[in-house]
Amino acid sequence: MQTLNVDLGERSYPIYIGDGLLTRPELLLPGLAQKKAAVVTNTTVAELYLDPLTAVLVKQGVEVVPVVLPDGEKYKNWETLNLIFDTLLSHRCERKTAVIALGGGVIGDLAGFAAAVYMRGVPFIQIPTTLLAQVDSSIGGKTAINHPQGKNLIGAFYQPKLVLADTATLNTLPERELCAGLAEVIKYGLIRDGAFFDWLERNMEKLLKHDSEALAYAIKRSCEIKAAVVAADERESGIRALLNLGHTFGHAIETGKGYGVWLHGEAIAAGTLLAARLSLRMGLIGETEVERITSLYRKAKLPTSAPDLGAKRYLQLMGLDKKVESGRIRFILLKKIGEAFITADIPEELVTATLSGIAANA
Ligand code: NAD
Ligand code: GLY
């Protein structure tokens, strides 16, 4: 097992990464404030992992309240959030009753937001079961639901007490979901660590074959980068925004196509390529870098072109991005592979040209 720490003063917490951690009560129990916990999950993950987790907790004398939600990005909304509150209230869950998220990023974001506001905040634990959730969404305290007009627009910063990433759960993950998670892994190489990007170029086949050593390294390195960025800028007043590489375009794709049509990771891959093409138009990187990024996404079985929503629709959707400041869209661009920066200082015609060029690059 590897243990990392998210260093946030009194709100610091551990990330445990390893095979078989789901049934290690000694890791989970310190996150509980009383012997009662609500486990929020979905129908798919419940079938696989709710019973083993419940058995471990019950054996320790913990009363478990299961909250089983429908599965899918399209349910990451107000109505589903309210289903969580209905169950917590009808089971008399109190201020000290922990909420445990068991699932991917959708469950983590929904359960985390519920934990942040239920009785003004209850203890929260993340048990991520997708690659994407293990390397990204379970860490850092961003919680949210979608609005019909845009992704993750309603939410809160709310840190978990601990993150328990059981890598054995990835054995049941469909290949398309594994690949979607790889998009966020590649993101870390692009924004902060060129050597990690090189490593991914050499090891992508192993990752796709679930090679346990390669996966463990990719998860650990990703978590290290995320933990360091979050510790430096918890509420995204500076460098945390870099973690949104590809997200301004990507969120527009997810909303524009309808939630769940493009997986989050797929939209981020396509969005990152748009950000790379915009960086190319700005003269920041060259064709060689764009080709390396495209080729790594191709190897990771991720999209290498974005859907053509039309430049006007993209701009309309991107206008609701959370990074918009004084009405100006701020973009994360690349200076090189391994270094990203944020800027609003981009001639609008270059953005429009990038979006209009989608059909040509498809
Ligand atoms: P997801 O939660 O929809 O999970 C993907 C699919 O895999 C679902 O069908 C799920 O039921 C299934 N699944 C989960 N674990 C499984 C397992 N072990 N075996 C088999 N099937 C399993 O999608 P995701 O990619 O995990 O998360 C995407 C969401 O995360 C998006 O809503 C995105 O906005 C959010 N996100 C949040 C942050 C953050 O910082 N909070 C960061 C990145 C992404
Ligand atoms: N996924 C972006 C962030 O956590 O800031």
DSSP 50: I
Judge whether residue 361 has pLDDT over 80.
Answer: no
Which segments of the chain belong to CATH 1.20.1090.10? 175-361
CA nearest to 1, candidates 15, 13, 14, 18: 18
Across the range 203-232, mean pLDDT stands at 97
Class of domain 175-361: mainly alpha
How much is the pLDDT for 360? Answer: 72
Please report which confidence band the pLDDT of residue 362 belongs to, taking 50, 70 and 90 as the band edges. Answer: low
Which residue ranges does the chain devote to CATH 3.40.50.1970?
2-172
> Which amino acid is residue 304, in one-letter code?
T
Active site residue 147: no
Element (H, E) at 237: none
Our answer to whether residue 11 is catalytic in this structure is no
Rounded to a whole number of angstroms, the distance between the first and last alpha carbons of the chain is: 42
Q: Does residue 93 surpass a pLDDT of 70?
A: yes
Nearest of 139, 124, 129, 137 to residue 165 by alpha carbon: 129
- Whose C-alpha lies nearest to ligand 2, atom 2? 243
| CATH number for region 2-172 | 3.40.50.1970
Please answer whether residues 304 and 266 qualify as being in contact, where contact means their C-beta atoms are separated by less than 8 angstroms.
Answer: no
Mutation to probe ligand 1, out of 68, 106, 186 (largest number of atoms < 8 A from CB): 106
Ligand 1 binding pocket, CB closer than 6 Å: 42, 44-45, 48, 71, 73, 76, 103-107, 109, 129-130, 132-133, 136-137, 140, 142, 151-152, 169, 172-173, 177, 180, 264-265
298 is catalytic: no
Nearest-angstrom CA–CA distance, 350 and 234: 32
Is 236 labeled as catalytic in the residue annotation?
Answer: yes
The pLDDT of residue 18 is above 70:
yes
The answer, as to whether pTM is greater than 0.95, is yes
List of E strands, the chain: 2-6, 13-18, 36-42, 63-69, 98-103, 124-128, 142-147, 150-157, 162-166, 331-336, 339-343
* pLDDT level of residue 40 (50, 70, 90 thresholds): very high
Within 10 angstroms of residue 329's Cβ, the number of other Cβ atoms is 17
- Is the pLDDT assigned to residue 358 strictly greater than 90? no
- ∠ CA 158-163-166, nearest 5°, is 150
Asked if residue 107 lies in contact with residue 42, where contact means CB atoms within 8 angstroms, the answer is yes
